[in-house]
Amino acid sequence: MFNSLKNQKIKEGVVSVFDIGSASVGGALVLLSEGKKPKILYSTRKQMSFQDSLDIKKFTTSMLLSLAETVSDLEKVGFSHLNFLKVKNKGIRECFCFFSSPWNVSYTKIIEVNKENPFTVSSELIDSFVRKEEEDFLNSELDILDKNNGAELMDRKIIQFKLNGYKVNNPYRKKINSAEVSLFLSVANKNILDKVENAIGKSFHLEKLHVHSFTLAGFLSLRDLFDGEDDFIFLDVSGEVTDISFVKDGVIRETQTFPLGRNSFIRKIIKEFNNTYGLSVSMIKSLQSGELDEVTKTKLNNSLLEVKKQWSDFLERGMLELSDGSILPKNIFILADDDIGKLLKELVEEEKFVKLVFPDYNKVANPILINSQKIDDFCNFGGNKDKDVFLGIETLFINRLFGN
């Protein structure tokens, strides 16, 4: 059932979408219509159990429980909502499942072919290189995966072709001396994928389960949203981790993960204020909305100084390593929940990142928080009160496959 990303088109109609992060699982029912914006008819998100300290077995169990709750919600409430909207739902046969860190590993390989004598590019030649890279990747030392259960390939996407140094859309049957292929691959633990498939399959009679890395969906959707923006950094800030992806010349070059996310800030507030999880989340939201009194606001900001510094240091170190001496793109796109996203945007604005070089006289980055307003022109959130930006980005990606 697992289907690597190829150039197939998705049929018109309703598809189900699942977003599996490190702190929650989101789900949506999305209507695809030719020539129209995709429409999120119904969405939901279930939080994973909050852990004071991470245990991988409990972490996996919690994710699967949240997935089961999300599937149940879509089946019971979501389908009823479709009936209310008079949208046919018995034809849902295709499902998309997107995995953020730490559930997958991704990799971009630049394949270069240079010959003295001109040669013709064929699909067989390209496929041979791609298969070799797939094999090497699956057999590589992937610390995040349980090798006893093996790795399952999710994405195999050629992002860009260059022939004799020039970008082309169709490289085949052309005589050249040099070719460059930018290939994106991602894998996940086969045991996890099987369990995810079983959980979804209990309620959805699937013909195809499309599994993808959120990194690929985020990169391609952002490139489409900001047309002409070939150089940028984007941050995927989930509950337990932050992914930094470095995009250069329209290609995602590399992604790095560091172990601080939204929950790192929540844990600090719980410790400093002796709060519950719910009250700590509420405090961050109140801080961003300006609803806190000055005394509490000052105390909260002071309590977060340490974790802010840690997150900023990780970010600077990651960008320095990913750039490998290159001038960094000024734009940094931030994908995060609104409450923590606003805080991190302000943090990046305040930081000078003195070790880094941005293409501007004052060497200051330009952080851009991706919220629902940023993608409203490309995705219809319907009547959903909570506009889930992660599901929105994934919906844009799916619409690419549909051909819009």
Average pLDDT over residues 129-158: 76
Asked whether 168 and 197 are in contact (CB, 8 A), the reply is no
The two structure tokens encoding residue 297: 């606001």
The answer on 336 and 237 residing in a single domain is: yes
Residue 376's nearest CA partner among 29, 38, 41, 26 is: 38
pLDDT (0 to 100) of residue 6: 44
Of 59 and 244, which is predicted with more confidence?
244
- DSSP reduced 3-state for 388: coil
* Residue that finishes a domain, picked among 135, 166, 188: 188
Give phi and psi for 206, each to the nearest 5: -85, 140
Average pLDDT over residues 122-149: 76
pLDDT (0 to 100) of residue 328: 87
Asked whether 232 and 327 are in contact (CB, 8 A), the reply is no
Whether 150 is covered by a domain: the verdict is yes
pLDDT (0 to 100) of residue 151: 80
Average pLDDT over residues 27-44: 92
Q: Please report, for residues 22, 223, 245, 397, the alpha-carbon distance to residue 248 in angstroms, rounded to integers and kept in the order given.
A: 27, 11, 10, 20
Sequence-ordered list of residues with C-beta below 8 angstroms from that of 385, at least 6 positions apart, any chain: none
pLDDT (0 to 100) of residue 257: 92
pLDDT (0 to 100) of residue 91: 63
Average pLDDT over residues 211-231: 92
CATH of the domain at 323: 3.30.420.40
| Number of compact structural domains in the chain | 3
Of 141 and 79, which is predicted with more confidence?
79
pLDDT (0 to 100) of residue 170: 86
d(CA 60, CA 193): 12
Whether 389 is covered by a domain: the verdict is yes
Strand partners, 17: 28, 96
Whether 127 is covered by a domain: the verdict is yes
* Residue that finishes a domain, picked among 133, 167, 188: 188
Q: How confident is the model at residue 227 (pLDDT cuts 50, 70, 90)?
A: confident
d(CA 153, CA 82): 33
Whether 394 is covered by a domain: the verdict is yes
Of 143 and 351, which is predicted with more confidence?
351
The residue count for the chain? 404
Q: Look at 54-58, 178-182, 277-281, 348-352 and tell me which has the smallest mean pLDDT.
A: 54-58
Tell me the per-residue pLDDT of 358-371, one tens digit each, with 9 for 90 and over. 877 667 889 999 98
pLDDT (0 to 100) of residue 5: 41
d(CA 42, CA 16): 10
**Is residue 326 over pLDDT 70?**
yes
Tell me the per-residue pLDDT of 291-304, one tens digit each, with 9 for 90 and over. 888 988 899 989 99
d(CA 299, CA 141): 45
d(CA 126, CA 181): 8
Residue range(s) defining the domain that contains residue 241: 232-372
Rounded to 5°, angle at Cα 372 from 80 and 300: 110
Q: What is the DSSP string of 301-358?
A: HHHTHHHHHHHHHHHHHHHHHHHTTSPPPSEEEEES-HHHHHHHHHHHHH---TTS--
**Is residue 53 over pLDDT 70?**
no
**Is residue 1 over pLDDT 50?**
no
d(CA 325, CA 109): 19
Sequence-ordered list of residues with C-beta below 8 angstroms from that of 274, at least 6 positions apart, any chain: none
d(CA 95, CA 197): 10
Tell me the per-residue pLDDT of 66-83, one tens digit each, with 9 for 90 and over. 999 999 999 999 988 888
d(CA 161, CA 33): 30
* Sign, CA torsion 158/140/3/79: negative
The answer on 131 and 149 residing in a single domain is: yes
Tell me the per-residue pLDDT of 301-314, one tens digit each, with 9 for 90 and over. 899 999 999 999 99
pLDDT (0 to 100) of residue 11: 66
pLDDT (0 to 100) of residue 13: 86
The answer on 149 and 97 residing in a single domain is: no
d(CA 306, CA 389): 28
Tell me the per-residue pLDDT of 119-134, one tens digit each, with 9 for 90 and over. 888 888 889 988 888 8
The two structure tokens encoding residue 256: 């790095």
Q: How confident is the model at residue 142 (pLDDT cuts 50, 70, 90)?
A: low
Whether 7 is covered by a domain: the verdict is no
Whether 2 is covered by a domain: the verdict is no
pLDDT (0 to 100) of residue 27: 96
The answer on 285 and 324 residing in a single domain is: yes
CATH of the domain at 172: 3.30.1490.110
Q: Please report, for residues 114, 182, 184, 320, the alpha-carbon distance to residue 229 in angstroms, rounded to integers and kept in the order given.
A: 29, 18, 19, 21
Tell me the per-residue pLDDT of 187-208, one tens digit each, with 9 for 90 and over. 998 889 999 999 998 888 777 7
d(CA 215, CA 5): 13
Q: What is the 3-state secondary structure (H, E, C) of 170-236?
A: CCCCCEEEEEEEEEEEEEEEHHHHHHHHHHHHCCCCCCEEEEEEHHHHHHHHHHHHCCCCCCEEEEE
Q: Kindly report the average pLDDT of the chain as a whole number.
A: 87
Of 137 and 394, which is predicted with more confidence?
394
Asked whether 146 and 191 are in contact (CB, 8 A), the reply is yes
Q: How confident is the model at residue 10 (pLDDT cuts 50, 70, 90)?
A: low
pLDDT (0 to 100) of residue 8: 52
* Residue that finishes a domain, picked among 124, 159, 188: 188
Q: How confident is the model at residue 145 (pLDDT cuts 50, 70, 90)?
A: low
